[in-house]
Amino acid sequence: MRITVDVGVIGAGPGGYIAAIRAAQLGLRVVCMDNWADVTGAPAPGGTCGNVGCIPSKALLESSAHFEMVKQDVAVHGIEVKGATLNLNQMLTRKDGIVRDNNKGILFLFRKNGVSFYHGTASFMRRSDAGYDIRVSGREGHVLTCRHIVIATGSSPRALPDTPFDEKRILSNVGALAMESIPRRLGIIGAGVIGLELGSVWRRLGAQVTILESQPAILSFADRQIAALAEKAFRTQGLSIHTGVSINKVTTSASQVSVEYTDTDATTQRSHFDRLIVAIGRTPHTAELAHDKVGLQLDERGFIVVDEQCRTNLPNVWAVGDVVRGPMLAHKAEEEGLAVAERIAGRFAQVDYGTLPYVLYTRPEMAWAGKTEQELEAEGREYRAGCFPFSANGRARAMSETEGIVKVLADAKTDTVLGVHMIGPVVSELIGEVVLAMSFKASSEDIAQVCHAHPTLSEALREAALGVNSRSLNS
C-alpha cells in the first residue's frame, strides 16, 4: 500500500525525532523512519545519542564518579567507607536500563504527538510529482511518498586506516560503553571529547589509561587557558596523555593490542594494551540512503551539503544534525530539527550557532559558549577578560570542589559578552545562564547586575562578569 505524508523524517536521533514531533505538533502528517535495533531486534529510537552516545556515557560518568567519590573523596567529609567494591555488571545494567527507558520514551512521544514510526532502513527510490518515494526495508517493507524529507541519519565512528573496529580489542564508542570487565591497560587514540570522557570513566573504575593524541595539546578547539587547566587536572588524576604523536601501526593478537607510534622526539614507541578505544572523530552517515537516485549533493568529506537553513540542493529535502556541517552535538541536531519543522510549516525559525554551548562531562567539567581568547586575538578584536576561581566561591568550598575558573570575555567598547569559558564543578548547568544571557546580547554588566543566590556556584559567573571591569568582590 502506498502511503502519502507531508513529512518523512529519516533517523530518530535527536535531530530526527525532535523534527518529527514538532512537525506533527504543527499539524503536518509525519512519519519517522529509523533502523536502530536493541539486542532483541526491537526498535530503539534515540540514535547515537540515546543508544551509544550522550545518555549511556553520562550514565557511566555518573556511576564511576560515585565510585571514585566513595573510594577516595568522601573521607574529607568525615565519612569513612571501607572495602567499597565495584559491581560492573550492575553499573552496565543500570546504564542499559536508562537507554531502554529513553527508547520507550521516544516511542511514547511519537504516539502522543501522532507521529507514525517505521522501523527499518529508508532509502530514496525516485522523485515524483507528489514528492519523494522512500522505501523502508524492515520486517515489513513499505513505500512512502513524502512531500518533504528531513534527513537526520547522523554519523559513524571514524576508524584508523587498516584498523577496523572489532568491538573486542579495538573499540569504537559502542564497545567502549559496554566492556564487561575492566581492562588493566586501556589505550585510547584521540584526546578529544570521547577520549577524555570515556578515559575518565575507565580510569575511575581501575584501568591504567594511556591517551595518544596527534595534536600538540588536548582540546585544541577549547579556550587555551581552559584546555591547559584541564590537561593538568587529567594528568594529576592519573590519565597518561601523550600529545604530538603519530600513529604508525596497530596490531592485535589473542591477548593484546599493540600500537606503534612516533613521539615528539621522532622516536618510535610501542605500547601494549588489553583494549584500545579509537576516538578520532566521526564521519557523516549516508551509506544506505541511495542519495544518487535523486541527485542529493554530498561534499568531498561525505556531509550532505546544506545552506544555513538546512536546505539541501533538492527542493523540499532538508538535512540536520551530524550528517551536515557544524559541531556534532545532540543539541545542535535538535535545534536544527526544530527549526526545519517550523520552516516546513511556513514559519520563521533561526538557529543561533554563535551561542551553541559545549560541555565536557569530565571532572572537573568544562563548559563554554561563544568565542575563545585565541579566536578573538586572531580576529584582532579588542576585549576585556574577567576571571574568577572556584577556590574563592563559598559553595565550591563547601563541596570541596574548588578546582577551576570562570572566565568572561566582553567587547572592550560595547561590553557585549563574546564568550564565557568555565572549568569546575557542575559547570554543565551554569552554561545555561550564559547561553540565555548571550542570546539576549547581554553585556558583562547585565550579568554583574543580576542577583545570584548565595552560596551557589553561579555566583562565580557573576564575579567573573564583575571582573571584566576589575570589580570582583570576593577575589
- Active-site residue list: 454
Q: Interface with ligand FAD by CB under 6 A: which range of 5-13, 184-192, 299-307, 449-457?
A: 5-13
Q: Which is nearer to ligand FAD, 229 or 323 (CB)?
A: 323
**Residue 190 makes contact with ligand FAD by CB under 6 A:** no
Q: Interface with ligand FAD by CB under 6 A: which range of 121-129, 139-147, 224-232, 243-251?
A: 121-129
**Residue 389 makes contact with ligand NAI by CB under 6 A:** no
Q: Is the dihedral of CA 130, 131, 133, 139 positive or negative?
A: negative
Q: Which residues pair with 235 in a beta bridge?
A: none
CA distance 358 to 227: 13
**Residue 330 makes contact with ligand FAD by CB under 6 A:** yes
Q: How far is the CB of 289 from ligand FAD (least distance, A)?
A: 5
Q: How far is the CB of 208 from ligand NAI (least distance, A)?
A: 19
Residues 6+ apart with CB under 8 A from 66: none
Contact between 174 and 346 under an 8 Å Cβ cutoff? The reply is no
Q: How far is the CB of 236 from ligand NAI (least distance, A)?
A: 20
**Residue 34 partner contact from ligand NAI, ligand FAD, none using kind-dependent CB cut-offs of 5 to 8 Å:** ligand FAD
**Residue 365 makes contact with ligand FAD by CB under 6 A:** no
Among 9, 30, 33, 277, binds ligand FAD (CB under 6 A): 33
**Residue 419 partner contact from ligand FAD, ligand NAI, none using kind-dependent CB cut-offs of 5 to 8 Å:** none
CA distance 31 to 21: 10
Among 285, 291, 421, 462, binds ligand FAD (CB under 6 A): 285
- Closest residue to ligand NAI, based on beta-carbon distance: 192
Among 5, 10, 406, 410, binds ligand FAD (CB under 6 A): 10
Q: Which is nearer to ligand NAI, 134 or 333 (CB)?
A: 333
Residue with cell 594511556: 210
CA distance 218 to 225: 11
Residues 6+ apart with CB under 8 A from 367: 357, 358, 359, 360, 422, 427, 428, 430, 431, 434
Q: Which is nearer to ligand FAD, 199 or 386 (CB)?
A: 199
Among 15, 43, 404, 424, binds ligand FAD (CB under 6 A): 15
Contact between 168 and 175 under an 8 Å Cβ cutoff? The reply is yes
**Residue 193 makes contact with ligand NAI by CB under 6 A:** yes
Q: Interface with ligand FAD by CB under 6 A: which range of 226-234, 327-335, 338-346, 417-425?
A: 327-335
**Residue 214 makes contact with ligand NAI by CB under 6 A:** yes
**Residue 212 partner contact from ligand NAI, ligand FAD, none using kind-dependent CB cut-offs of 5 to 8 Å:** ligand NAI
Among 95, 135, 169, 282, binds ligand NAI (CB under 6 A): 282
**Residue 213 makes contact with ligand NAI by CB under 6 A:** yes
Q: How far is the CB of 250 from ligand NAI (least distance, A)?
A: 10
430-433: which pairs have CB atoms within 8 A and are 24 or more residues apart?
430/367, 430/406, 430/457, 430/458, 430/460, 430/461, 431/357, 431/359, 431/367, 431/368, 431/369, 432/357, 433/458, 433/461
Residues 6+ apart with CB under 8 A from 49: 13, 14, 55, 330, 333
Residue with cell 584508523: 160
Binding to ligand FAD (CB under 6 A) within 132-161 occurs at: 152-155
Contact between 433 and 420 under an 8 Å Cβ cutoff? The reply is no
**Residue 192 makes contact with ligand FAD by CB under 6 A:** no
**Residue 56 makes contact with ligand NAI by CB under 6 A:** no
CA distance 355 to 379: 18
Which helix (H) or strand (E) element contains residue 136?
strand 131-137
**Residue 131 partner contact from ligand FAD, ligand NAI, none using kind-dependent CB cut-offs of 5 to 8 Å:** none
Question: What single letter denotes the amino acid at residue 346?
Answer: G
Q: Interface with ligand FAD by CB under 6 A: which range of 13-21, 245-253, 387-395, 435-443?
A: 13-21
Helix runs in 258-392, H state only = 330-344, 373-379
Number of residues that this document lists for the chain: 475
**Residue 150 makes contact with ligand NAI by CB under 6 A:** no
* C-alpha separations of 328 from 8, 15, 146, 351 in Å: 22, 11, 27, 15
**Residue 66 partner contact from ligand FAD, ligand NAI, none using kind-dependent CB cut-offs of 5 to 8 Å:** none
**Residue 16 makes contact with ligand NAI by CB under 6 A:** no
Among 16, 199, 389, 424, binds ligand FAD (CB under 6 A): 16
Per-residue interface string for the shown chain with ligand FAD, residues 75-94, x marking contact by CB under 6 A: --------------------
Residues 6+ apart with CB under 8 A from 252: 166, 169, 170, 258
- 304 CA to centre of own chain: 20
Q: How far is the CB of 51 from ligand FAD (least distance, A)?
A: 7
**Residue 195 makes contact with ligand FAD by CB under 6 A:** no
- Phi, psi for residue 70 in degrees, rounded to 5: -65, -40
> What are the grid coordinates assigned to 209, written together?
589509561
Contact residues toward ligand NAI (CB under 6 A) are: 189-195, 197, 212-215, 247, 279-282, 327-329, 359-361
